[in-house]
Chain A
Amino acid sequence: MMSMKELEKKLRDRFGEGVIDFAIPRKNRLIIKVDASIVKEIAMFIKENGFDMPISAGATDYPKDKRFEVFWVIWSSIHNLVLILKTDIDRDNAEIDSLVEVWRGVQKFERETWELMGINYKGHPKLKPLLLPEDWDEGYPLRKDFSLSPYKV
């Protein structure tokens, strides 16, 4: 079993500047922040290194910085670690490679984020409405600029 130090070295050797941050904030936790353009290659690489089970995915809206932080959460059955893989994308051009080909199980999470946050996952096999009503046309509810005033009681 490889230590996380070795994984960091392997990642940085292979992808260089593409790995923006590599942090272990607490036990059983790993946060890797990468460049959006190579997120799929990095995902393939970390999957080969034992991170096999997708447990969550989503995005956070930062309108002040004009960016979305897109994340995938992966558990490793070998290392018993939770990995949060993050990347920043431009808020005006919200596009990112879908990781469904890497981890089959992120499909539903990416579909949900596409619907609620308005992020276009390129290469996703099934981007169709999931949670919102079929005739919904009021925008993306999880974005920070979504107006809640019609729903306030």
Chain B
Amino acid sequence: MGIARVEEVEELKDGLMRVSIGPQHPISGQGRILVVTDGETVYDIEIDIGYSHRGIEKILENRIYIHGIVPLERMVMLDTSPITMCYVRALEELYGVEAPPRAQYIRTIILEMNRIISHTYALGLFAESAAWNPAIFLWTTADREPFLDLLEMLTGARWSYSFIVPGGVRADLPQGFKEAAFEAIKFFRERLDVYVDSWIDNYLFEVRTRNVGVIPRDKAIEWGAAGPSLRASGVEYDTRKHDPYAAYEELDFKIITDTSGDSYARGGVRVKEMYVSLDIIEQALENIPDGPIKRSLPQRAPPGEAYARVETARGEIGMYVVSDGKDKPYRVKISPASFRNIFLIEMLPKIEELRFADVPVIFYSLDPWFLDADR
């Protein structure tokens, strides 16, 4: 059949159909994927989001700065701390202050634990979408528990922590946290080895996901991919390195990249990033300095504007915050990673031949989150 151009599809009637996946499909989340297909070959994909649009940008304009943190966390419940970190980072740029070093280290620890939690979930869905053993999803769901327990110990909540605040963090590390964290890291590193042995390095899984949904390097840049989807295409870009925040500047880690740009590479980048995250947490726990954890800031931010970027598990989130000197932001523009990544799949039928069964594999290798994209 070759690669069909989208304009041609409109003229073809016989045999073609538009398949709607979602919006309440158990695996796609609250969104819809419209696929034009003749049953096997995919000619066009359209992403239809907005089923959970809550207008968070508008909500933020009507909340004092510190209250904005709570609605922001509703963007991605799996990965709440990087989003609040981004807002806090923009505010700290507006105020012209930095949090004390100890707070920066505690932030780093939470951010990396969130990355692990989010990546394990993403990998579970990825395995399931590739029709791999559904037990993987149960493994990944169970194996993140030690980190959820640690976060509960530290912040008092399993998901929405509201812990990173302008000027620092809310509380210091509790007694026994370090020991528990080292134990969790040891446990999780062993589990990661099991994943790699039994599943990632497995020939069948590799055959299913290799050369599926290849995004070439230049296209990844042109279309504005983010996070692991960008790095798997060979672009060495990680906000933690390129525009460091929290304590990342003082810690030693490397950016994981791959050159093949296919679904397998995106999954592989996530697995390797979890090893890196474990190293970062260990380093942060060992080198954490003593000192205060918070500085108080006035309620009104000085007039001005800031653009903050933070690397969430799904990729870079950007927030453009404009202040007019009041206690509420004048404008907040949020550009989440999922909003950038979710549309990549629309472009793929135009450059390569896709089969219908590849759509979920590619979709979950990109790891977009509808709630994140909708805001």
Q: Point out residues on A near B: beta carbons under 8 Å.
A: 26, 28-29, 52-56, 58, 60-61, 71, 73, 75, 77, 80, 82, 84, 103-109, 116, 129-133, 141-142, 146, 148
Q: Is B190 at the interface (CB under 8 A from chain A)?
A: no
Whether A131 and B50, one on each chain, are in contact in the complex, defined by CB atoms closer than 8 angstroms, is yes
Q: Is B335 at the interface (CB under 8 A from chain A)?
A: yes
Q: Is B68 at the interface (CB under 8 A from chain A)?
A: no
User: Contact flags (1/0) for B331-347 with A, using CB distance below 8 Å?
Assistant: 10101000110010001
Provide the bound-state CA to CA distance between A80 and B223, in Å.
Answer: 18
**Residue from A28, A105, A116, A132 with most neighbouring chain B CB atoms (10 Å):** A105
Whether A103 and B307, one on each chain, are in contact in the complex, defined by CB atoms closer than 8 angstroms, is no
Whether B62 and A58, one on each chain, are in contact in the complex, defined by CB atoms closer than 8 angstroms, is no
Given A56-B333, A73-B335, A77-B235, decide whether A108 and B343 contact each other with a Cβ distance below 8 A.
yes
**In the complex, chain B residues 348-375 whose Cβ is within 8 Å of any chain A Cβ:** 374-375
Whether B237 and A105, one on each chain, are in contact in the complex, defined by CB atoms closer than 8 angstroms, is no
Q: Which 10 A-B pairs have the closest CB atoms?
A: A105-B224, A56-B335, A131-B50, A58-B333, A131-B53, A60-B331, A54-B224, A105-B223, A53-B221, A56-B318
Whether A61 and B307, one on each chain, are in contact in the complex, defined by CB atoms closer than 8 angstroms, is no
B interface, over-half SS: mixed
Chain B's interface size range is: 20 to 34
Provide the bound-state CA to CA distance between A55 and B227, in Å.
Answer: 12
Nearest-Cβ distance from residue B325 to partner chain A, whole angstroms: 14
Please pick, from B50, B53, B222, B374, the residue contacting A105 in the complex, using a CB distance under 8 A: B222
Please name 17 further chain A to chain B contacts, defined as beta carbons within 8 Å, in addition to the given A104-B223, A148-B62, sorted by A numbering. Answer: A28-B242, A52-B222, A53-B222, A55-B335, A60-B322, A71-B333, A82-B243, A103-B224, A105-B340, A116-B57, A129-B50, A130-B50, A131-B49, A131-B53, A141-B58, A146-B58, A148-B58
**In the complex, chain B residues 207-255 whose Cβ is within 8 Å of any chain A Cβ:** 221-224, 226, 235, 237, 242-243
- Complex: chain B residue closest to A58, CB-CB: B333
Given A131-B53, A141-B55, decide whether A77 and B221 contact each other with a Cβ distance below 8 A.
yes
Chain B residues near A60: list those with CB within 8 A: 322, 330-331, 333
Please pick, from B221, B242, B316, the residue contacting A80 in the complex, using a CB distance under 8 A: B242
Given A73-B335, A80-B242, A131-B49, decide whether A55 and B223 contact each other with a Cβ distance below 8 A.
no
**Residue from A54, A103, A104, A108 with most neighbouring chain B CB atoms (10 Å):** A108
